[in-house]
Structure formats: C-alpha cells, structure tokens
Amino acid sequence: RSKKNKTHIFLPHLVASMEDVEETYIMVKPDGVQRGLVGEMISRFEKKGFKLTGLKLFQCPQELAEEHYKDLKSKSFFPKLISYITSGPVVCMAWEGVGVVASARKLIGATNPLQAEPGTIRGDLAVQTGRNVIHGSDSPDNGKREIALWFKEGEVCQWTSAQASWLME
Ligand code: ADP
C-alpha cells in the first residue's frame, strides 16, 4: 500500500459523522483553578474522547461575566455569582465532539454539587452551588454563543485527532 493511501484510509468515516459534531464551552471556575483541579477536569473530557479546540487561562472582566450570565440577571445571587467568576483566573475551553453538549453536562453533574451523582465532576470535587468548580453550555446554540463570547478569532483551533477512527465507527 502506498503512503498516500494509508493516510486517507479512515477519511470516509470522519466525513460521514461531521454533521453530528457539536461544540461546547467549558470553563474551570476560579475555585477549580485555586484548588489545583484544572488537570483533573481537562483529563475527564480528554479520556471520554472529546477534542479540545480552545484553551486559555484568563482573568474575566466584570462586563464579560455579566454578559455570559445575562439570563440570571434577575436572580438574587447574581451579584455574588459575578464576584465569584471574576475573583481569580478561569480556564476557558472549547470542546468538540458528537453529542458533546449534553454529554459534558452529564460529566459535570447537577448544579448543586451535593445533589450531583458520584462520578461526576461536581459530585466528586465540590460541595456548594456557589463554588461548583465548572461551567458547561446547556445547548448547542449556547455552546456556539459562549465560544464566540470567550474566545477571540484565531484562538480556537481546528485539527484532526489521530484517535478519531478509534473513537467513532
Ligand atoms: P449550571 O451552571 O449548572 O448550568 P445555572 O445556569 O442554573 O447552573 O446557574 C449558573 C451558575 O450560577 C451555577 O453554576 C452556580 O455557580 C450559580 N448559581 C446558581 N444557582 C445559585 C444559587 N442558588 N446560589 C448561588 N449561586 C448559584
């Protein structure tokens, strides 16, 4: 077999599954960074088989936190939430994969860590809603919106994972 044929052997499978591919915005919150849990959280998404397309440590300005959580503006905890999210650096991530939005929410677990199942990120690593260590987009549309909000053009990287054909049939 020629070298050229080998590099193209799995391409039809990848093309066939492209339409189901989603993207989601995942963020390690300041408590997760301070507690040294960044690697642990990234590892869970990597091991599951999702593809990292954006990653940065970032001090979130007040206006961006307010824009990100604008749907919660009327809630009594909103000021506390904004000061929490801006209290230290966060780790911004874009992840890509088939069904990644709902699957990431399952990996993350319930908003209240005491109600989150053991085995989930919040279930294993957190105790309070106001310190629940991680964010994940709740819909494919919000995934796109939030990635555009938190990343500048050129910061999200498209690449082909060498694992793809071993993860997807
Ligand atoms: P999720 O992050 O699970 O999608 P929500 O969108 O309902 O949850 O809320 C966004 C974030 O606001 C939560 O992750 C949490 O940090 C904070 N939050 C929600 N409810 C409360 C609350 N009752 N008290 C303090 N913080 C809250």
Residues 6+ apart with CB under 8 A from 166: none
Nearest to 92 by CA among 54, 119, 52, 128: 54
Q: CA–CA separation, 155 vs 141, rounded Å?
A: 19
Q: What is the ipTM of this complex?
A: 0.99
Going by C-beta distance under 8 Å and a sequence separation of 6 or more, which residues neighbour residue 24?
Answer: 94, 95, 96, 100, 101, 104, 136, 137, 140, 143, 147
Query: What is the block-wise mean pLDDT of the chain (169 residues), using blocks of 10 residues?
Result: 45 57 98 99 98 98 98 98 98 98 98 98 98 98 98 96 93
Residue 44 annotated as lining a ligand binding site: no
Is 8 an annotated catalytic residue? no
Q: Pocket of ligand 1, candidates 129, 133, 135, 137: which has the most ligand atoms within 8 Å of its Cβ, to mutate?
A: 129
